[in-house]
Amino acid sequence: MEENLTRFGISGAKVYQKGAFSLVDLLVEDGRVFVFSVGTLPTDIPVFDMNTCFVFPGFTDVHTHLREPGFSYKETVETGTKAAAHGGYTAVCAMPNLNPVPDSVEHLKKEIEEIEKQAVISVYPYGAITIGQKGEALSDLEGMAPFVLAFSDDGKGVQSDDMMRDAMKRAKALGKMIVAHCEDESLIPKGGCIHDGAFAKAHGLIGIPSSSEYAQVARDIELVRETGVRYHVCHVSTKESVELIKKAQQEGLSVTGETGPHYLTLTEDDLIDEGRFKMNPPLREKADQEALLAAVNDGTLCAIATDHAPHSEEEKSKGLAHSNMGIVGLETAFAVLYTDLVKTGKMSLETLIDRMATSPAQRFSLGSGEIEDGGLANLTVFSLDEAYTIDPKDFLSMGKATPYAGKEVFGKCLLTVANGKIAYKEENIHA
């Protein structure tokens, strides 16, 4: 089976290396990739002819929900990582809102066991900041530190200033990053479901104000200034948060952030009263979208992360007011961003690849995020010319809720190689 190949070539494609594209051939062997001049690959290996296609470094998603252990009816490590490979990802960072919550070594081991058994790409778990993500007492940060990427309570903001200060001090001592879901719950009315803007007012829905995000970003940056910890803001959605992050960086603080494909390509003006448009933070206003795009382009936000959050069909069938928060994104991220931003001239292809692959990998110390001669073979091959329609029935993820259903896009993943092994291959692609 081609999926089991460990030594093979890729020819005819433009390969992204060090910020530019060149026409070279690639040999994958023993988990590593080697760069050859065109036409000089060994003759005794199977070769994928990828004429007119593009080879990118494998994408790194620093914000993914794989739902195991505890919620395998939504997603499993197997289905989530297969979906990631289908989208061109070779590494994902798994958020801790699980059951049990990874707040101790014992609980964390349950997640790691599932990853080791099922994952088809690299998976890096987060440890929870607080026990049970309840914000009442700190997790066993010292015990988990050797086994986790960073610490996060994603899904909830840490409400207590003192709790976050203590977490930052301990993370700093451990050399670990704090990755924060910024949400001041005291600023959100009960039942808040979408942005507190025109759509909410017109449809009688309870809004979530932008201040609930940026107020906590401001608080955390003040604590970063005090503690010196490395700090990263999850799913940035407001222009005010962007400005706070930019000022912190200008000050020399180790502060970065991410935003999601949906915040870069959709606003509250695109809302439909269906669960597939409900996520947290919510889609906001055009001015926020413009600020986010500028921040991705200039590097203020170093990563585009999907916040892939699968739920059951029933959980997403209750409209904006009552559906669960969260959409899936691993299998649509590149195509949507390439179609709406690159093809329209709002972002260069090189910038998009950097923010999906190189910069997040480097910020989170997950390797170079580059295709390097002799380096680990983590890469993905895309055809950029073929138009197709996004259909959730084609997803490998168990989650199907996407605001992009029915959207025509360009950018189809044909092959993904993770750690030298074929993690995804289109059926009609053969060596």
Active-site annotation, residues = 307
Give the contacts of 119 (CB within 8 A, at least 6 positions apart). Answer: 77, 78, 81
* Kind plus residue range of the DSSP H or E element containing 245: helix 239-250
**Distance, C-alpha 291 to centroid of its chain:** 19
Question: In three state form, how does the secondary structure of 341-404 look?
Answer: HHCCCCCCHHHHHHHHHHHHHHHCCCCCCCCCCCCECCEEEEEEEEEEECCHHHCCCCCCCCCC
Grouping H, G, I as helix, E, B as strand and the rest as coil, residue 46 is: coil
Residue located via tokens 């950018």: 411
**CA distance linking residue 235 with residue 279, whole number of Å:** 10
What is the C-alpha separation between 397 and 313, in angstroms, rounded? 12
What beta strand segments (E) does 190-344 contain?
194-195, 207-208, 231-233, 255-259, 303-304
Ramachandran area for residue 17 (φ above 0: left; ψ -120 to 50: alpha; else beta): beta
Q: What is the dihedral of CA 153, 180, 380, 359, to 10 degrees?
A: -150
